[in-house]
Amino acid sequence: MDALRKSVIAGSWYPGNPSVLRRDIEGFLNLVPDTEIAGEVVAIIAPHAGYIYSGQIAAYAYKRICGNNYDAVIVVGPSHRVAFPGVSIFGSGGYETPLGIVPVDEELARQIKKNSKLVSDIPAAHVQEHSLEIQLPFLQYVLGNFSFVPLVMGDQGADACQDLARAIYAAVQGRKILIVGSSDLSHFHSYNEASSLDSVALRHLKDSDAAGLLSSLENGTTEACGGGPMAVAMLVASMMGATEARVLKYANSGDITGDKSSVVGYAAAVYCQ
């Protein structure tokens, strides 16, 4: 394998022992009620905090795709540690987790890069970034073997979101693809303030309103560290003909820890065609 991105958060953000990791994910999924969703899931939004905080919320989205088959998965996350323009793609090799190596779909990566002047190879953007890796064990558990394209957004502005969404949509024609938008919501507000801020984002997610979400993020009426990835997921889903949007679960860290003085918000949503 050309390039192998080793795990940097196994053993801290989620269990490093494969058996414990599988057990924890299974436990999260078992606590999610069975609900009927019409259509085929083409995009999900899931949080990216440590599993003890947001794993149960993420499970609401991942249970909806359990056992599905996709030609490839595209995971889009924000950059937390490295500032750079545009979008960084990890175009070859794979990502490793305790559950094994997830190979990059190199042809799909090439097509996405070819379709956008904003997408380039910036290896440093992936080395310490957790927002993509945190999604992979869930994907490995519910899908089994799959290939993917990792994308880290350094620019989350509206123009960048539209450009990336168009590049992805053009590249996936004729293929069955899942888009994963990785994001947490508001950060470090009181429980009630966080709930108010997050209600705005949840409304946009429910309405599949990417433009509204990005506008609310810009004017400060809501917050999300991965607003761009969420918008891209919604935009691509809409381009792919998704007609149903559903927010499956919302909670914040205060619901888990009991400390409601300073919390982080989490949501799980799906988009179906």
Cα-based angle 163, 168, 173 (whole degrees, multiple of 5): 135
Domains in the chain: boundaries: 4-272
Among 29-38, 45-54, 195-204, which is the least confidently predicted range? 29-38
Residue 109 near residue 149, CB atoms below 8 Å: yes
Among 35-39, 40-44, 73-77, 161-165, which is the least confidently predicted range? 35-39
Q: How confident is the model at residue 2 (pLDDT cuts 50, 70, 90)?
A: low
Residues 200-245 have pLDDT tens digits of 999 999 999 999 999 999 999 999 999 999 999 999 999 999 999 9
- What's the token pair of residue 43? 């995009």
Helix residue ranges per DSSP H, the chain: 18-30, 51-62, 106-115, 124-127, 130-133, 136-143, 158-171, 191-206, 210-219, 227-239, 253-257
Q: What's the chain's average pLDDT?
A: 97
Between helix 51-62 and helix 18-30 the angle, nearest 10°, is: 60
Q: How confident is the model at residue 35 (pLDDT cuts 50, 70, 90)?
A: confident
> What is the model's pLDDT at position 38?
79
Between helix 106-115 and helix 158-171 the angle, nearest 10°, is: 130
Q: Give the whole-number percent of the chain exceeding pLDDT 70.
A: 99
The answer on pLDDT for 181 being more than 80 is yes
- What's the token pair of residue 46? 């899931």
Residue whose pair of structure tokens reads 């502005």 in the numeric block: 157
Q: Give the whole-number percent of the chain exceeding pLDDT 90.
A: 97
The answer on pLDDT for 12 being more than 70 is yes
- Average pLDDT, integer, range 128-135: 98
pTM of the model: 0.97
| Closest C-alpha to 200, from 180, 182, 214 | 214
Q: How confident is the model at residue 37 (pLDDT cuts 50, 70, 90)?
A: confident
- Average pLDDT, integer, range 107-134: 97
Distance of CA 201 to the CA centre of its chain: 15
Q: How many residues does the chain have?
A: 273
> What is the model's pLDDT at position 188?
96
CATH class of 4-272: alpha beta
